[in-house]
Amino acid sequence: MLTLLPTTEHWYESPKKKGVYYPSVTMVTSFLPKGKFFERYLADQESFEEANKLLREAGERGTRLHTASEALDRGEGIPYGSSDLTDEEYQLLAHGYVGWHTAYKPVIKHIELKLISDKHKLGGTCDRIYIIDGALVLFDLKSSKSAIFDSHWLQVAAYADMYEHLYKEKVDLVAILRLTERRKDGFEFVTRFRDEWLDDYKQFKKTYDTMMYLNGGKVLTPKIIEVPEILKL
């Protein structure tokens, strides 16, 4: 039998407790509003369906850019026309992501690092761990066309705390790189020092408590279904 998890949610199985699943960090941060301007932007759309379409397209754009950036960091080349990237996205990577690498010269320590903590009762996948100018930097790539949201800072703060617990290494900085056509150099790069991200982590824990409160104080669990590996009559 195969065990299937909800495709619309992100869950991570405990590495030590079989059958125990933890919510993803992004599931938790989804309980924090992105702000009145984002909500107004969605409300200004012609219909609920149109708003959902925009969110879906933004998610697909983000997935394509993440996949391509990972390939670049692994030393792979991306010939024009050989991927699902749109012309706009290809140019954004060429100008913004490659340009950022050229300017900051990060040394790669981890790529797409999966973090699962029984202590935190959380899971997530950190985009990168870099060494930049001697500092250990926990890095997340964003493709939002509008802004870096507060929820993004809570996300990287949670990753940083989990990383320190699991790897016993100090995270000096958390960083968000937003690829955007609205900047002359193609990107917005913002960092936060340790004392700043530790404050963000405190807010993350409050958001986690809010999620639990809205779930009646019960531990969240995925709705698991089991199906046979092969269907036949």
Give 39-87 pLDDT, tens digit per residue: 565 556 667 676 677 668 778 888 999 999 999 999 999 999 888 999 9
Q: Average model confidence (pLDDT) for the chain?
A: 91
Question: Is residue 159 within 8 Å of residue 138, measured between CB atoms?
Answer: yes
The full set of domain ranges for the chain reads: 34-218
Residue 87 makes CB contacts below 8 A (sequence gap 6+) with: none
Q: Is the model's pTM score more than 0.75?
A: yes
Cα angle 155, 130, 122; round to 5 = 30
String of DSSP letters for 122-177: EEEEEEEEEEETTEEEEEEEE--SS---HHHHHHHHHHHHHHHHHH-----EEEEE
Task: Please say if the pLDDT value at position 12 is more than 90.
Answer: yes
pLDDT for the residue 133: 97
Amino acid at 65: L
pLDDT for the residue 45: 63
Domain 34-218 has CATH 3.40.50.2000: no
pLDDT for the residue 71: 96
CA distance 91 to 13: 37
* Higher local confidence (pLDDT), 45 or 210: 210
φ and ψ at residue 229, rounded to 5 degrees: -70, -30
Token duo for residue 185: 């150099």
Task: Please say if the pLDDT value at position 229 is more than 60.
Answer: yes
Arithmetic mean of pLDDT, 178-192: 94
Question: Is residue 96 within 8 Å of residue 179, measured between CB atoms?
Answer: yes
Q: Helix crossing, 194-214 with 150-167: angle to 10°?
A: 100
For the CA atoms of the chain, what is the radius of gyration? 19
* Chain segment 140-160, per-residue pLDDT in tens: 999 987 889 999 999 999 999
Distances (CA, A) of 123 to 21, 107, 166: 9, 25, 12
CA distance 147 to 75: 29
Token duo for residue 131: 């060494």
CA distance 112 to 120: 19
Local confidence band at 34 (pLDDT 50, 70, 90 cut-offs)? low
CA distance 130 to 105: 10
Task: Please say if the pLDDT value at position 88 is more than 70.
Answer: yes
Local confidence band at 107 (pLDDT 50, 70, 90 cut-offs)? very high
pLDDT for the residue 94: 95
* Chain segment 110-145, per-residue pLDDT in tens: 999 999 999 999 999 999 999 999 999 999 999 987
